[in-house]
Amino acid sequence: MIRERLKEKPLVSVIVPVYNAQDTLKRCVDSILHQTYDLLEIILVDDGATDASGRMCDAYAEEDGRVTVLHKNNGGLMSAWMAGVDIAKGEYLCLVDSDDWVEKEMIEHLAERRSETYADAEIICCNHVIDHTNGNEQKMRHGAAPGEYTGRKLQEEIFRRILGNQNRTVSMSRCMKLTSTKLIRDNMHYCDPSIKMGEDVNIMLPAILDSKRIVIQKDTYDYHYRYNDASIVHRYDAGLGQNNRKLVDKIGEVLRDKFRGEALSSMNVPDAELDAMKQKERLLFFMLELKNEFRNPASNVIKRIQAICNEERIPLLAQKYPLEITGAADKLLYAIEKNPTAMRICAAKTLYGLRHRA
């Protein structure tokens, strides 16, 4: 009975992980409650919040029957949205972070591009806006051209180019998308909660490679990402290098499983190409490590960066797997990867410091 009712219009489960988000939660949840698409269930996952967030979630559930609240012990962002996926009833998932908000037509815009033929294995993407704390807005698009990707076009233009690009063909964020629930559930075994930075790659890379249809919308900038200068992302993280090595290893595991599995083996992608995809990602992630080291309060940062570059064989990788890099600051970081001289490191550290304070 429910399946017949949803044949024309599927239920969408919107999952919001919540942790100490009392200052941003109202704007986030209100933007979901006011969607023009009405067949929703909204799952608020209280990940052991110590502020008023949990009580705010309960208040929403009392006011609106579409809202379900799941209270759990703190386990981190990944564990929170995974807990929401476990109880979701929708055929599609839409994940929204509690710092962010969405335009009222977002889910309708995404849902109107769905396909019954590929309903169990499709991803529909919108574009997004970065809302800076200084009031500036920055529109962001996917690297691939807007349109529908299936069959050979999907394999050649998305799958073979999904990694190693500064601007990914399809964003690896779990947000800004309508994703079939089956795609996510079938790939949750790849998720490693110990990976804290770039963790969305754990789920979205295998989900994308399992998809049969991907749609990239053209002019819909419906998701608003809040850029928070006080975030942990902008402070020194002593564990970032280990995090990135775990992430690159996970990428290698996913690539082997998917391209050597039954679904994609017919593409005959050589091992050297898969390794190039993985190593290019390593170089891109290492740029984040360089930025992170610039925040390191230690006095020997320059020698430390040189040592890390040599230990990780970064110059050799940069020579073997060249990247196309745009933007003066990132080009300087890439120059360090190719040849980590003290002069280049000093210049980049100074430039980054000025940009970070701006």
Report the distance separating Cα 269 and Cα 273, nearest Å: 7
Percent of the chain with pLDDT over 90: 87
**What pLDDT does 136 receive?**
87
Asked if residue 112 is part of any domain, the answer here is yes
| pLDDT exceeds 70 at position 78 | yes
Same domain, 229 and 120: yes
Q: String of b and e for 312-344 (b: at least 16 CB within 10 Å)?
A: bebeebbeebebebeeeebebbbbbbbebeeeb
**What pLDDT does 303 receive?**
95
215, 233, 251 - which closes a domain: 233
Which of these, 105, 123, 132, 103, lies nearest to 28 by C-alpha position? 103
Which of these, 32, 35, 78, 80, lies nearest to 54 by C-alpha position? 80
- The range of the structural domain enclosing residue 206 comes to 2-233
Asked if residue 274 is part of any domain, the answer here is no
| pLDDT exceeds 50 at position 323 | yes
Average pLDDT rounded to a whole number, residues 44-55: 98
pTM above 0.85, yes or no: yes
Same domain, 24 and 154: yes
Same domain, 201 and 310: no
Q: What is the mean pLDDT of the chain?
A: 93
**What pLDDT does 330 receive?**
92
- Which of 6-20, 52-66, 114-128, 235-249 comes out lowest in average pLDDT? 6-20
Average pLDDT rounded to a whole number, residues 269-296: 96
What's the pLDDT band for 135 if we cut at 50, 70, 90?
confident
Asked if residue 139 is part of any domain, the answer here is yes
191, 209, 233 - which closes a domain: 233
Asked if residue 225 is part of any domain, the answer here is yes
What's the pLDDT band for 232 if we cut at 50, 70, 90?
very low
Q: 3-class SS at 72?
A: strand
Q: String of b and e for 269-284 (b: at least 16 CB within 10 Å)?
A: beeeebebbbbbbbbb
Asked if residue 277 is part of any domain, the answer here is no
Same domain, 82 and 204: yes
pLDDT digits (tens, 9 = 90+) for 80-122: 999 999 999 999 999 999 999 999 999 999 999 999 999 999 9
Asked if residue 155 is part of any domain, the answer here is yes
Same domain, 19 and 144: yes
**What pLDDT does 234 receive?**
65
Q: String of b and e for 226-250 (b: at least 16 CB within 10 Å)?
A: bbeeeeeeeeebeebbebbebbbeb
Q: Where do the H-state alpha helices sit in the chain?
A: 2-5, 25-33, 53-63, 77-87, 106-111, 151-157, 181-187, 200-210, 240-259, 271-294, 301-311, 314-320, 328-338, 342-357
Same domain, 205 and 301: no
Widest CA span in the chain? 69
Asked if residue 248 is part of any domain, the answer here is no
Same domain, 49 and 128: yes
Are 47 and 19 spatial neighbours (Cβ–Cβ below 8 Å)? yes
Which of these, 161, 179, 183, lies nearest to 170 by C-alpha position? 161
**What pLDDT does 349 receive?**
87
Same domain, 217 and 300: no
Domain containing residue 57: CATH number: 3.90.550.10
195, 218, 233 - which closes a domain: 233
Kindly calculate the radius of gyration of the chain based on its CA atoms and give it in whole angstroms. Answer: 21
First to last CA, the chain: 57
Asked if residue 64 is part of any domain, the answer here is yes
**What pLDDT does 4 receive?**
44
Average pLDDT rounded to a whole number, residues 309-324: 96
**What pLDDT does 352 receive?**
76
Same domain, 299 and 228: no
Report the distance separating Cα 89 and Cα 215, nearest Å: 23
Same domain, 338 and 228: no
Average pLDDT rounded to a whole number, residues 155-175: 96
Same domain, 94 and 190: yes
Q: 3-class SS at 3?
A: helix
pLDDT digits (tens, 9 = 90+) for 185-228: 999 999 999 999 999 999 999 999 999 999 999 999 999 999 86
Instruction: Give the dihedral of Cα atoms 282, 241, 173, 86; nearest 10 deg.
Output: 120
Same domain, 224 and 349: no
Structural domain total, the chain:
2
What's the pLDDT band for 27 if we cut at 50, 70, 90?
very high
**What pLDDT does 358 receive?**
40
